[in-house]
Amino acid sequence: MSAVPALELIAQDAAAVRVAVEIGAARVELCQALALGGLTPSIATVEHAVAAAAGAVEVHALIRVRPGGFRYDDDEVSVMADDVRAAVAAGATGVVVGCLDKDGRFDREQMLRLRDAAGPAGFAAHRAIDLSADPLEAIDDLIALGVDRVLTSGGASTALAGAGTLAAMVARADERIDVMAGGGVTADSVEGILRTGVPAIHFSAKRTVPGESGVSMGSAETDGVGSYDTVDVGQARRIAAAVRAFGGGAD
């Protein structure tokens, strides 16, 4: 029997953490503003997520100060370093970060500042690698930086579309860093993604809750106070079942 790949569910609140516990996930990646690609969650959100996890799943906080790419100035990195320290102090098991330089490589100085801020907590990289100049070279850079795990879609819009690159990244990693697949994961795409050899899969299992009003509150809400994403429990269960089936586990 092959090992069952690990599950990581994207969570924006304590309710999603409880879903992660139910489906047997190993981790949650905790964030806010999922529609913007995910931003740093509030400290209260971290505290509530840790309480909901009750030690059954790890809570890893996404640290991203703003939307719009992954090149940051010194002020932004200073904020993220403080956010890293605050998230870990609030009980997060680890953090998820990513800073690129002007050449499209991981910015060594900025990444080391964030790693040092994390201390002994888990230290992972997010899908900034999918915008890097060379995802395979980036694997070596992340290993040198002491990163535990990297989330990637193989440089494509979805993990299934990037399966070829994902397989090459797994081979390049050679078990020196975990390459976790994420991006557009569904129960139907699980098998094709996991055939790349990735040891973990990351997914949102989201559904959209419609908006309430025609009054705009910002430029991102062109149709008024907009819709928002939340976890669809049924979809999360189906993805978890598909992963277990691939790994030879019982449903």
Q: Which of 167, 162, 161 is nearest to 179 (CA)?
A: 167
Give the confidence band of 26 by pLDDT, cuts at 50, 70, 90. Answer: very high
Give the confidence band of 213 by pLDDT, cuts at 50, 70, 90. Answer: low
Residue 162 near residue 153 (C-beta atoms within 8 A): yes
CA distances (Å), origin 243, targets 7, 15, 161, 165, 191: 8, 22, 18, 20, 7
> Is the pLDDT at 249 greater than 60, yes or no?
no
- How buried is residue 245: exposed, middle or buried, by Cβ count under 10 Å (0-12/13-18/19+)? middle
Q: Which of 6, 8, 4 is nearest to 203 (CA)?
A: 8
| Cα–Cα distance, 51 to 168 (Å, whole number) | 38
pLDDT of residue 1: 38
pTM assigned to the model: 0.92
pLDDT of residue 228: 82
pLDDT of residue 110: 98
pLDDT of residue 194: 98
**Percentage of the chain surpassing pLDDT 90?**
86
> Is the pLDDT at 71 greater than 70, yes or no?
yes
Query: Which of these ranges, 83-87, 145-149, 245-249, has the smallest mean pLDDT?
Result: 245-249
* Residue ranges of domains in the chain, CATH in brackets: 6-204+232-246 (3.20.20.380)
Query: Which of these ranges, 81-90, 156-165, 188-197, 228-237, has the smallest mean pLDDT?
Result: 228-237
pLDDT of residue 220: 58
Q: From its phi and psi, is residue 138 left (phi > 0), alpha (psi between -120 and 50) or beta?
A: alpha
Query: Which of these ranges, 56-65, 98-107, 223-232, has the smallest mean pLDDT?
Result: 223-232
pLDDT of residue 14: 98
Tens digit of pLDDT for each residue in 160-207?
999 999 999 999 999 999 999 999 999 999 999 999 999 999 999 999
Residue 4 near residue 198 (C-beta atoms within 8 A): no
> Is the pLDDT at 2 greater than 70, yes or no?
no
Question: Beta 178-182 vs 228-231: how paired, if at all?
Answer: unpaired
- Quickly tell me which residue has 């879903």 as its tokens: 19
Give the confidence band of 247 by pLDDT, cuts at 50, 70, 90. Answer: confident
> Is the pLDDT at 79 greater than 80, yes or no?
yes
Residue 127 near residue 151 (C-beta atoms within 8 A): yes
Of 144 and 226, the structure prediction assigns the larger pLDDT to 144
What does the mean pLDDT of the chain come to? 93
